[in-house]
Chains A and B, each alone.
Chain A
Amino acid sequence: MAANETMTRSTADEAARERAADYLLRRHYVRWPEVLPWLIAIGCYFAFPDRMTFGSQVLIMVMFALSLDLILGYAGIVSLGHAAFFGLGAYTVALAAMKLGWTEPVSGILAAGVVAALVGVAVGWFILRYRGLTLLMLTIAFAAMLQEAGNIRSDFTGGYDGLPGLTFDPLLGHFQYDLYGHTNYVYVLVVLAVVFYFVRRIVYSPFGQALTGIRENVRRMHAIGSPVHRRLVTVYAISAGIAGIAGALFTQTNAYVTLTVFDFDVSAKVMVMLILGGTGRLYGAFLGAAVYMIFEDKLSKLSPTFWQFGIGLLLVLAVMFARRGLLGLADTAWRRIVKRGAP
């Protein structure tokens, strides 16, 4: 049948097919603007040598927002409790260092990722049967329960006073953590790059496509035979693992952790960052986290009491004029320019 059709196909039809196929074949290719955020991140290392600790915090939040993008932007799972996994990762390395003397940093973040992912499977299995507001409430409840559990056993977790004075081995046995956080910045940036590579592959894979399908129309996914629940639990676990790694880096960067990492504020903040940058576009996490944190930093210095007003204003403007986030805004502007330039 196929051969027969090929023979009767006109050249115009053949060209239309080729064009269509080409688009899918090339969709995952790296385009030049994708290099920009990485160049900026590397540039910051040289441009702001005395702000490296802040820089590390930004990169950690980028990773955390990226983990949320995987479930929110791609699979359409709305979570206001993602701090649960960030906190799990943060406490995994803290407790491992404190109680077990496991102070090697790289294996520490891997362990944190695994712990968070495993909990992600267990929790996801249960809560991802639900959707919409029910699911949203369950994510909030889970993070609150973890925080409260940590509070009950504050003899073990340090409670809201935290576990101070954690020390970690030099990176790869060589690079000491310095006072200015130079080593740490490079370390976090490298981990972020590795994580980002994985996320990017997942997003452009058939599995990633299926996630988009679930977001776009779950009824159709069921109808075409997709094991929706399994897909959701899988991506939830991956996202949890990445959030856990971000949390582990947070502990290692600060050498200190308290139960506030489980705060609702943290979950809400990361979602705001992502929405500000743009969901479902990978780099929204970069832009959103960076803009939010720089704003927060500048404004809180300007007015230590009223800085949240500025953040609020930023959000109102974003919601009014940039529904698809800052990247969505940039996208629209770019299309306009291209259109105007075309004959």
Chain B
Amino acid sequence: MTAALDVKGLNRSFGALHVTRDVDLTLAAGARHALIGPNGAGKTTLVNLITGVLRPSSGEVVLNGEDITSWSQAERARRGLARTFQINQLFRGLTVLENLCMTIGERDGNCNNMWRSAGAKRAVIDEALDHLEALRLVDDALKPVRELPYGRQRLVEIAMALAQRPRVLLLDEPAAGVPSSETHLILDVVAALDPDIAVLIIEHDMDVVFRFAREITVLVQGAVFTQGTPEEIRRNEKVREVYLGQEHGHG
């Protein structure tokens, strides 16, 4: 079976700084994969390489059997690769509903149309509302994104990615910046994701990682330090030293 996402020997340097070193990573369809590592390990850089924000110095990115290494971000997105950003990237001046409709419009190619009114397709609006409903955001539908509390904006961020109907979803610290009283909302959403979507999550909260992931990759200084099931990672002495030791010293 072809993997949903296959990263082979990925390298990226910024001048003399080698931020991604020979990374191999495979996500099967329906994968629940966590990417962990200390700050500066190159996690977000890896996401940017996979989604095409950055070009690798060498290596390949394969999506559903197709080599997409030379593709633009937009082409990758249209083929089912979606992501959320570590820091919200939303259309802040537009309403939540408009944000969602934009995503659906670009996904379906509606946005090539210059003549029909954007509101004329009821099906698009209904689908957007369905996505909002799933995340309990309907009451905020008509508010500009910038007026929402940050935690709710995080939910919009996830709704946007889901509205792309992705086959591979990359979640870059979905709960970052969210008050702890609200993190459960985000985690419930992540837990309830469509089982067919391959998900890669970057997360610092080890409770979340161990609860969510079936596989974990530990990234240290741009290279894959080790990879395994949550149980294996938990027992790995070296991982405890480089990573868990610092952040989970109390646990």
Instruction: Spell out A's residues near B (CB within 8 Å).
Output: 2, 5, 9, 13, 16-17, 19-21, 23-28, 201-202, 204-210, 212-213, 216-217, 219-228, 231
Contact = CB atoms under 8 A, between A and B. Distances in A.
A244 to B, nearest CB: 18
Main secondary structure of the interface of B (DSSP, over half): helix
B130 A5 contact: yes
A2 B93 contact: no
A324 B220 CA distance: 48
* A-B residue pairs, 7 tightest by C-beta: A225-B77, A20-B141, A216-B91, A24-B119, A210-B111, A225-B78, A222-B73
20 contacts: A17-B129, A201-B117, A204-B119, A205-B115, A205-B118, A206-B105, A206-B118, A207-B114, A208-B114, A209-B101, A210-B102, A210-B105, A210-B111, A212-B94, A213-B91, A223-B51, A223-B85, A223-B89, A224-B77, A226-B106
A251 to B, nearest CB: 28
A208 B118 contact: yes
B106 A224 contact: yes
Contacts of A213: 91, 94, 102, 106
Interface in B134-153: 138-139, 141-142
B92 interface: yes
Contact of A222 (B53, B92, B97, B142): B53
B77 A222 contact: yes
B60 interface: no
Given A21-B126, A27-B119, A225-B74, A209 B98 contact: yes
Interface residues on B, range: 35 or more
A219 B94 CA distance: 15
B114 A201 contact: yes
B229 to A, nearest CB: 31
A21 B121 CA distance: 10
Nearest to A201: B115
B118 A204 contact: yes
A228 B74 contact: yes
B133 interface: yes
Contacts of B92: 216-217
Given A20-B142, A217-B90, A224-B102, 12 more contacts: A13-B138, A24-B98, A24-B119, A205-B118, A209-B101, A210-B102, A210-B105, A213-B94, A217-B92, A219-B85, A225-B106, A225-B107
A9 B133 CA distance: 10
B82 A209 contact: no
A210 B111 CA distance: 6
A263 B189 CA distance: 57
B246 interface: no
Interface in B147-199: 160, 164
